[in-house]
Structure 1
Amino acid sequence: MDTELARTFLTVLAAGSFIGAAELLHVSQSTVSARIRALEEQLGCSLFVRNKAGTRLTAAGRQFHKHAAVLVRTVEQARQDAGTPSGFDGVLTVGGRFGLWEELLLAWLPLMRRAAPGILLRAEIGFEEELMRGLLEGRLDIAVMYTPQSRPGLAVERLLEERLVLVASEPEAPPAPARDYVLVDWGPEFLAQHNVFFPAFSGAGLMVNIGWLGLQHIRRHGGSGYFPLRLVADELRRGRLHRVPDAPEFRLPAYLVHPEEPADAALDAALGLMRGLAASGHAEEEEA
């Protein structure tokens, strides 16, 4: 079977529609439809039910999904293994949001290197859409993100809960978005909470999709913004930033996503270290 057909199937599943899959694959919708038809003809069954809401798997589609994931993952693993330098026993690829690499996954890397020195680690930064797609296609073994999607064959577990606090460069900042406020897009859950607590907010002069950009701007040019407490705890202790009193605090869960199938020893070790690191970091945050 052409793995491109299986990859297209997984992309439709990740996107939730043929149109969304076409955008992700940078092809026309008719090309996606043609590939799925070809796949269905080879298998002798229908894989998707299409309606106005998008697509959903048929019973046959649910059965094929696990085989498609294994097929694409096997090809990807073969490609990775073929490129693995001598001296390593395997490869583990981990992806995460930029903000979750800071002070979390970056601390996990050396722990994992010591725990499994024979494993080549590949680290990637991405947003939820590309991380989920990487997991479904088998390019990623583990991903850490804020807003995962439930997909067959993938386990989603809560890793930690971010405490998003309003910090400012000046100690007397108002407890609401001001003129120099930087709006960081921490995802739809955060924006929904933000709109509820600040209904009169008409928009910020600067909006960023990566927290690091907003934090660097505030450090250099002043202003205020919402950031995970674990990222700014040291800045607050040193007096470089100031917690805005009486400002609402938002909660944002972060999730660990990985294959449901039994993992090998390296994957098990990686997951265990991430869980332990998240738990210890949360305890330190509470003390701060």
Structure 2
Amino acid sequence: MDIRFLVTFMEVAQTRHFGKAAENLYLTQSAVSARIKQLEEYFNAALFVRNRNSLQLTAAGEKLLPFASSLADTLEQARATMNEESIQYLSIASTSNAWDMYLKHKLDEVKGHLDHVSIRAEICSHEQLSRMVHEHSIDLALTTLPFKSDDVEILELSDSMLSLYCSVGIIEEALEHFNISIDWGQKTNEALEKIYPEIKKASMRTGSLQVALNYLSTHNSAIILPAQIAKELVNAGKLHEVDSLSPLTVKCYLIYLKQSKDARLKKFIEVFKGMIENQQGR
């Protein structure tokens, strides 16, 4: 049971309004409704009676309220103790491609700017990231596709040019071996298919860079990759660049909630902004 669900329950019980509770907690109303629904499923009981113009606690809701209050107090005490130890926590979740293209290489740099910060990093799907950000389950999300939401800020972290590469053994007939197709998002995919119709016949189609590279290691193939990912393989003599696809690029984005007033989170975001400025100044 996530303690934040109980905090949400108490806020709804106090305001008697889902919209006001969402505003006070810096959540979307749908996130508040989802948390209450999960609590009701967990306790197998309705917690509120929803009338047209009012919202009242049920008998089960009245019983739960003091327990929720006690648990919330315990959580605040735990947070106070952790603050006394000068330890801060940063939770980052990333799609697998954003990890490979950005965070894997930048995590040490991020950590270097954040003394006494414990970082929790996870790999999730794009859909999971969106849900976790809106439910405050994570501080920051990294992805190659921006969220379609008015509730978030989107910061562009990197921009890598796409190029066509092939295994060194098939340089002369690269387009005859278009065996791997990576999903870069609908708009980019459509542009690539216009340039190389052969890609539609790829025997391996995946949204994961890691899966594509693993397959490439045992199958001669033409493949479209970001330059920063292909660089190491080109330098090692395993891949050959056939054609630059400029201006087509793949971007990595940092995403976080607009409404957050957490000074700790603002500090973390400034670190990423500073890294972008340093990169642009090189």
Compute the TM-score of the two structures, normalised by the length of structure 2: 0.65
Q: CA deviation at 1:266?
A: 4.1
Partner of 1:211: 209
1:1-288 aligned within 5 A:
2=9, 9-10=29-30, 41=51, 44=54, 87=85, 89-170=87-168, 172-173=170-171, 177-179=175-177, 181-199=179-197, 201-245=199-243, 250-261=248-259, 264-278=262-276
Q: Which amino acid counterpart does residue 91 of structure 1 have in structure 2?
A: Y
Q: Which residue identity is paired with 2:91?
A: T
Unaligned runs of 5+ in 2: 1-7, 13-17, 56-71
Instruction: Tell whether the 8 Å contact from 2:177 to 2:222 is kept in structure 1 after alignment.
Output: no
Paired AA for residue 141 in structure 1:
D
User: Compared with structure 1, are the counterparts of its residues 82 and 147 closer, same or farther at alpha carbon in structure 2 (3 Å cutoff)?
Assistant: farther
Question: What are the Cα deviations for residues 161-186 of structure 1, in whole angstroms up to 9, with x where unaligned?
Answer: 23122221126536875335211122
RMSD over aligned CA atoms reads 4.2
The Cα offsets for residues 4-30 of structure 1, whole Å up to 9 and x where unpaired, read as: 9878953599xxxxxxx9xxx99xxxx
Gaps (5+ residues) in structure 1?
14-20, 46-74
Identity within the alignment, %? 18
> Which has more radius of gyration?
2
- Provide the rounded CA distance (Å) in 1 between the counterparts of 2:272 and 2:173: 34
Change over 3 Å in CA distance of 1:2–1:237 after alignment to 2: same
Q: Letter of the aligned partner of 1:231 in structure 2?
A: I
Deviation at 1:205, TM superposition (A): 0.8
Q: 1 CA distance for matches of 2:214 and 2:80?
A: 40
Residues 177, 263 of structure 1: alpha-carbon distance in 2 compared, 3 angstrom cutoff? farther
Secondary structure at the aligned position of 2:202 is classed as coil
